[in-house]
């Protein structure tokens, strides 16, 4: 398949600007030009890095649904849905799922990601009767070294970091735990329906789990929609406010980080 790379990149810029205006109007968030450019870089360099894989996608944005599930204790009905891409090459069929999380974090929580992908793979293979040999996650988050090279602007440095970047993380496929994973989904549905949303204590937000680079507040809370109404997060911000710039830190550091994710999700996954 021949692709006019320049034309696609221009189109990406147009779609990004459109989504940015939409999200800004809808969420009333605003971000600095720097953060906006960083968000667009993530999309642009993701596209440049994965162009060969993108060309091979045989089915894009496949919606998978597992309807009419019943939760384990309260018999509540729920449906599991996911969107994936399929690549068939030669005799092999791979399923890909995009995540905006960084490679390091995905590798450290591989079981969680694998469980979700295995449910999608089960729907694709067993219920829809398609071929499948393997699954993988594509981490769209740029490595810090590549971000540094892009900011530096040196073409050789960028090329080197692009070549060193490997965003594809194979996950394998197993049906061993499918039933217990689906049951776990059902328990989560029951927690949601019963308003069991207790946030962890503030101390937990300062904790760094084994193998993780970031504390819970940075790794998890910055992606959480509820953080501005979460007492634990508010207390975390208050305690970590070293320069008495609490409100600014609250809105700038965390707010803009979240907005970046928002724009990236919106542009990559729409
Ligand atoms: S901000 Fe969200 S993820 Fe973080 S503790 Fe509060 S509810 Fe949990």
Q: How far apart are CA 89 and CA 125, in angstroms?
A: 17
Answer whether 222's CB lies under 8 Å from 105's CB: no
pLDDT of 270 reads 37
Per-residue pLDDT for the chain (270 aa), expressed as one digit of tens each?
A: 677 899 999 999 999 999 988 888 887 667 788 888 988 999 999 999 999 999 999 999 999 999 999 999 999 999 999 999 999 988 899 999 998 888 888 888 888 899 989 999 999 998 899 999 999 999 998 998 999 999 999 999 999 999 999 999 999 998 888 988 999 999 999 999 998 878 999 999 999 887 777 788 887 887 787 888 899 998 998 888 655 555 555 544 444 444 445 445 444 443
What Rg value do the Cα atoms of the chain yield, rounded? Answer: 20
pLDDT of 250 reads 53
Q: Which of 196, 222, 224 to mutate to test the pocket of ligand 1 (most atoms within 8 A of CB)?
A: 224
Does 181 sit in the ligand 1 pocket, CB within 6 Å? no
Does 122 sit in the ligand 1 pocket, CB within 6 Å? no
How far, in Å, is the centroid of ligand 1 from the Cα of 227?
Answer: 5
Residue with tokens 């507040």: 217
How buried is 153 (Cβ within 10 angstroms: 0-12 exposed, 13-18 middle, 19+ buried)? Answer: exposed
Q: 71: which residues sit within 8 A by CB, 6+ positions away?
A: 77, 78, 186, 187, 189, 190
Alpha carbon of residue 135 to chain centroid: 16
pLDDT of 108 reads 82
């Amino acid at each position: 398949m021949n692709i006019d790379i320049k034309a696609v990149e221009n189109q990406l810029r147009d779609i990004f600007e459109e989504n940015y205006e939409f999200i800004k109007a809808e969420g009333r968030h605003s971000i600095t030009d720097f953060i906006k450019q960083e968000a667009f870089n993530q999309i642009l360099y993701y596209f440049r890095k994965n162009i060969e894989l993108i060309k091979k996608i045989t089915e894009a944005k496949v919606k998978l649904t597992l309807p009419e599930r019943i939760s384990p204790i309260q018999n509540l009905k729920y449906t599991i849905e996911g969107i994936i891409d399929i690549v068939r090459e030669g005799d092999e069929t791979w399923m890909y799922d995009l995540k905006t999380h960084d490679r390091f974090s995905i590798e450290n929580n591989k079981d969680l990601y694998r469980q979700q992908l295995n449910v999608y793979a089960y729907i694709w293979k067993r219920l829809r009767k398609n071929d499948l040999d393997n699954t993988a996650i594509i981490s769209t988050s740029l490595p810090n070294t590549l971000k540094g090279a892009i900011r530096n602007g040196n073409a050789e440095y960028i090329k080197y970091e692009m070549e060193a970047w490997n965003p594809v993380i194979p996950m394998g496929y197993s049906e061993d735990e499918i039933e217990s994973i689906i049951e776990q989904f059902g328990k989560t549905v029951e927690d949601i329906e019963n308003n069991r949303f207790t946030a962890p204590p503030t101390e937990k937000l300062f904790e760094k789990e084994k193998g993780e680079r970031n504390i819970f507040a940075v790794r998890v809370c910055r992606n959480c929609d509820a953080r501005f109404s979460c007492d634990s997060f508010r207390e975390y911000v208050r305690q970590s406010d070293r320069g008495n710039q609490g409100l600014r830190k609250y809105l700038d550091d965390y707010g803009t980080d979240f907005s970046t994710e928002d724009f990236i999700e919106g542009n990559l996954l729409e």
